Amino acid sequence: MTITRVDVIITCPGRNFVTVKITTKDGLVGYGDATLNGRELAVASYLRDHLAPLLRERDESRIEDIWQYLYRGSYWRRGPVTMAAIAAVDMALWDIKAKRAQMPLYELLGGASRKGVRAYVHASGWDYEALKVAVEGYRTQGFTAVRVQTGVPGLGQIYGIAPAKAGEKYNYEPAKPAVNSLGEPCPVEEEWDSRAYLNFVPEIFDNLRRDFGSSLALLHDAHHRLTPIEAARLGKELEPYDLFWLEDATPGEDQEAFRLIRSHTTTPLATGEVFNTVFDYRTLISERLIDYVRSSVTHAGGITGIKKILSFAEIYGVKSGIHGPTDVSPVGMAAALHLDMTIHNFGIQEFMPHSEETLSVFRTSYTVADGYLHPGDTPGLGVDLDEELAAASPYTPAYLPTNRLEDGTVHDW
Ligand code: EZ4
Ligand code: CO
């Protein structure tokens, strides 16, 4: 068959999402997620202005060839905008192929390797008491793994912690932009102090192990804010608390920095949510400097792209920890779940539940029970998009926050 239409749908049911919809000559429809938080329209233009004209009249069954044509064939390679656009096309083509085969995508990808997908959720609080309530809530729902983040005494709002301050309602996703002197949206500026953070964090984990015992899996995200030696210190000091992983300890593009962290600590390490190809992981994986790869399907070239990363990781015993925040759409989440079901080196899946508003536009067939997710058995990815509802929620300009030290210096985050 051939592709007859490529539509790009931008909608904001509670937050922005960019979706590609590919239609074939015989009327099959596939969806792909192209959402890049705070840079949504750049990917929409890449799809609409540059990829769509190349896809029409092409044989939609040739997924690998189309991936290589869009990646290798375009001369300009890699980067989050390019790879999110390619990812969306790739997901939509897999959706179509599985619908044509009348199988849920995980069957087409090799079938189930496990009964379900173990998920971790985000628990956070301004202080330990608020965090404890959040963790208790998730335990009651049956989750066995939680990412735990708190505020730091002396610092204000920190991305990744909700609510930002005692008594406030602010949530970190979707990130709320600030307003500049011209009345236009711009990134909120947060403040950071690594010393205050490092001196405070071990006490949080001490409290967690005291209150929740040893079986609960605890994860923590340093969100690229540390230097290698600071990360080494943190990993070492958290060893008694048996973390599932310490995530994004340092900015990940400096792959060699992980040699220093690794030589100092046995705390498992995860990184890669801002990476988009296997090349970004070459040193990290081949030198066994990390334990989990964090790319999302949406930002790493789709099913085809992330399979290349996970196959490379598999031979070094490195496992998956696919990124699953609410800025990945339900389509991108479904793609992750189908892969998670099949790959051998599955580790854990991040799960931030989407809002009711989002799920009224994106109707999913995936389920959650007892801390496990399952993609469901609807043919394809199992996600439908209500285009009328989508059109009723137009794009709203959005920015992730930025980060500065007390003296005003821009800092990693
Ligand atoms: O900051 O998806 O582990 N998860 C995270 C996320 C990311 C956002 C950025 O868009 O760190 O919350
Ligand atoms: Co993260």
3-state secondary structure of 94: helix
pLDDT band at 255 (very low <50, low <70, confident <90, very high): very high
Residues 6+ away with beta carbon under 8 Å from 182: none
211 in the same domain as 254: yes
Within 6 A (CB) of ligand 1 lie: 37, 173, 221, 223, 273, 325, 327, 350, 400
Cα(234)–Cα(269) distance, rounded to whole angstroms? 12
Cα(382)–Cα(7) distance, rounded to whole angstroms? 19
Q: Is the pLDDT of residue 167 over 80?
A: no
Residue 142 within a domain: yes
Mean pLDDT throughout 266-281?
98
Q: Is the pLDDT of residue 298 over 90?
A: yes
Cα(365)–Cα(102) distance, rounded to whole angstroms? 15
Q: How many CB atoms lie within 10 A of CB 266?
A: 11
153 in the same domain as 95: no
Mean pLDDT throughout 279-298?
98
Identify whether the C-beta of residue 247 lies closer than 8 Å to the C-beta of residue 270: yes
Query: What confidence tens digit (pLDDT) does each residue in 305-338 have?
Result: 999 999 999 999 999 999 999 999 999 999 999 9
177 in the same domain as 36: no
Residue 59 within a domain: yes
Q: Which atom of ligand 1 is nearest to the CA of 326?
A: 2
Catalytic residue (choose from 223, 299, 323, 354)? 223
Q: Provide the pLDDT for residue 222.
A: 98
Tokens standing for residue 128: 């330990």
Q: Provide the pLDDT for residue 34.
A: 98
> Does residue 163 or residue 70 have the better pLDDT?
70
Q: Is the pLDDT of residue 164 over 80?
A: no
Q: Provide the pLDDT for residue 163.
A: 73
CATH number at residue 243: 3.20.20.120
Mean pLDDT throughout 76-88?
98
Mean pLDDT throughout 64-93?
98
Tell the residue number behind the tokens 């005494």, with chain if given.
153
Cα(310)–Cα(312) distance, rounded to whole angstroms? 5
Counting DSSP H helices and E strands in the chain, the numbers are 14, 19
370 in the same domain as 243: yes
Mean pLDDT throughout 3-29?
98
- Length of the chain (residues): 413
Q: Total domain count for the chain?
A: 2
Pocket test for ligand 1, best of 18, 173, 299 (most atoms within 8 A of CB): 173
Tokens standing for residue 71: 């990646």
144 in the same domain as 16: no
128 in the same domain as 64: no
Residue 398 within a domain: no
Distance 59 CA to ligand 1 centre (A): 35
Cα(82)–Cα(301) distance, rounded to whole angstroms? 8
Tally the C-alpha atoms within 13 A of residue 392's C-alpha that lie toward its C-beta: 10
β-partners of residue 32 are 20
Q: What angle do CA 24, 27, 29 make, to 5 degrees?
A: 70
Whose C-alpha lies nearest to ligand 1, atom 4? 325
CATH number at residue 76: 3.30.390.10
Cα(296)–Cα(301) distance, rounded to whole angstroms? 9
Pairing assessment for the beta strands 319-322 and 29-33 based on DSSP bridges: unpaired
In this structure, what are the phi and psi dihedrals at residue 84, rounded to the nearest 5 degrees? -70, -40
pLDDT band at 252 (very low <50, low <70, confident <90, very high): confident
207 in the same domain as 65: no
Q: Is the pLDDT of residue 170 over 80?
A: no
Residue 144 within a domain: yes
Q: Which atom of ligand 1 is nearest to the CA of 37?
A: 10
124 in the same domain as 88: no
In this structure, what are the phi and psi dihedrals at residue 11, rounded to the nearest 5 degrees? -145, 160
Q: Is the pLDDT of residue 168 over 80?
A: no
Q: How many CB atoms lie within 10 A of CB 32?
A: 32
Average per-residue pLDDT for the chain? 97
292 in the same domain as 180: yes
Pocket test for ligand 1, best of 323, 329, 400 (most atoms within 8 A of CB): 323
310 in the same domain as 284: yes
Pocket test for ligand 1, best of 220, 223, 351 (most atoms within 8 A of CB): 223
pLDDT band at 174 (very low <50, low <70, confident <90, very high): very high
Q: Is the pLDDT of residue 233 over 80?
A: yes
Q: Is the pLDDT of residue 53 over 80?
A: yes
**Is there a catalytic annotation at residue 106?**
no
pLDDT band at 157 (very low <50, low <70, confident <90, very high): confident
58 in the same domain as 141: no
User: Among residues 103, 130, 159, which one ends one of the domains?
Assistant: 103
Whose C-alpha lies nearest to ligand 1, atom 2? 325
Mean pLDDT throughout 239-266?
97
Residue 16 within a domain: yes
Residue 404 within a domain: no
Residue 406 within a domain: no
Q: What range defines the domain where residue 29 resides? A: 3-103
Closest to 117 in 3D by CA, of 337, 269, 370: 337
User: Among residues 103, 136, 155, which one ends one of the domains?
Assistant: 103
Residue 88 within a domain: yes
Distance 121 CA to ligand 1 centre (A): 12
Identify whether the C-beta of residue 124 lies closer than 8 Å to the C-beta of residue 150: yes
185 in the same domain as 95: no
Pairing assessment for the beta strands 217-221 and 189-192 based on DSSP bridges: unpaired
Pairing assessment for the beta strands 17-24 and 3-11 based on DSSP bridges: antiparallel
Residues 6+ away with beta carbon under 8 Å from 398: 15, 16, 37, 38, 40, 174, 175, 177, 185
Report which bound ligand comes closest to the CA of 325: 1
Whose C-alpha lies nearest to ligand 1, atom 7? 325
User: Among residues 53, 79, 103, which one ends one of the domains?
Assistant: 103
Distance 325 CA to ligand 1 centre (A): 6
Q: Provide the pLDDT for residue 206.
A: 98
**Is there a catalytic annotation at residue 159?**
yes
* One-letter amino acid for residue 35 of the chain: T
The DSSP-derived string for 131-176 is HHHHHHHHHHTT--EEEEEE--TT----TT-SSSSTT----SSSPP
pLDDT band at 171 (very low <50, low <70, confident <90, very high): confident
